[in-house]
């Protein structure tokens, strides 16, 4: 119980620590993403005619901003009878202090389709080291997702994968991607606070 309480207290301190936003993308113009360090990599087989593209407000409105300010992809990433494997990667960021990523997803509300999606952290060569298994994207409005990874050496990207069978897929939107890392001063404050908590526990045991 004491260990659980300590973990909760430290968790609360981490949540309140200051963070620096390194990526804040609202997808006002998807055509400029690659100029900002994003990577689009469609590995669907067979390969379709479309990649990631500007959102279409006739499908649904963006989560935030102008109605069409979201990134979208669809079954046209592949060919009927094939398998979708269409990736969108954020710019690189350091993982030395840990990273938090948040974003919003939704699928178009049409019966008979089941859009699959996966996401997670990948190294700079595009190899995943912390990926969430694919899941069905909700159709009833936008849903926010948050991913976190602890401190590790080097840099990484965050990858978004549109996957599943092409014939069963339809249309997915991605919006409001935010990547932030703790400020070094926050890490020092967190460490000092954790040491204080441990010291307090030790005093109570004497």
pLDDT in tens, 51-73: 999 999 999 999 999 999 999 99
pLDDT in tens, 28-53: 999 999 999 999 999 999 999 999 99
Using CB atoms within 10 A of its CB, is residue 77 exposed (0-12), middle (13-18) or buried (19+)?
A: buried
* pLDDT given at position 147: 96
CB-CB contact of 61 with 67 (8 Å): yes
Domains assigned to the chain: 18-201 (2.60.120.200)
Within a 13 Å sphere around the CA of 27, how many CA atoms are in the beta-carbon half? 28
Going by pLDDT thresholds of 50, 70 and 90, the confidence category of residue 195 is: very low
* pLDDT given at position 57: 97
Give pTM, 2 decimals: 0.81
Q: What is the mean pLDDT of the chain?
A: 84
């Amino acid at each position: 119980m004491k260990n659980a309480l300590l973990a909760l207290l430290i968790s609360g301190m981490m949540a309140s620590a200051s963070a620096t936003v390194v990526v804040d993308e609202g997808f006002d113009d998807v055509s400029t993403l690659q100029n900002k360090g994003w990577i689009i990599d469609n590995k669907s087989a067979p390969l379709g005619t479309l990649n990631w593209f500007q959102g279409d407000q006739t499908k649904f409105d963006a989560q935030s901003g102008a109605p069409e300010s979201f990134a979208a992809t669809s079954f046209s990433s592949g060919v009927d009878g094939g398998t979708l494997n269409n990736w969108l990667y954020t710019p690189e960021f350091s993982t030395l202090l840990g990273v938090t990523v948040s974003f919003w997803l939704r699928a178009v509300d049409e019966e008979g389709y089941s859009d699959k999606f996966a996401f997670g952290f990948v190294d700079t060569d595009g190899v995943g080291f912390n990926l969430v298994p694919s899941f069905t994207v909700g159709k009833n409005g936008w849903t926010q997702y948050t991913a976190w990874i602890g401190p590790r050496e080097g840099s990484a990207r965050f990858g978004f994968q549109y996957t599943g069978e092409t014939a069963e897929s339809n249309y997915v939107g991605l919006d409001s991607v935010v990547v932030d890392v703790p400020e070094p001063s926050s890490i020092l404050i967190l460490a000092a606070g954790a040491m204080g908590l441990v010291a307090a526990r030790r005093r109570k045991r004497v």
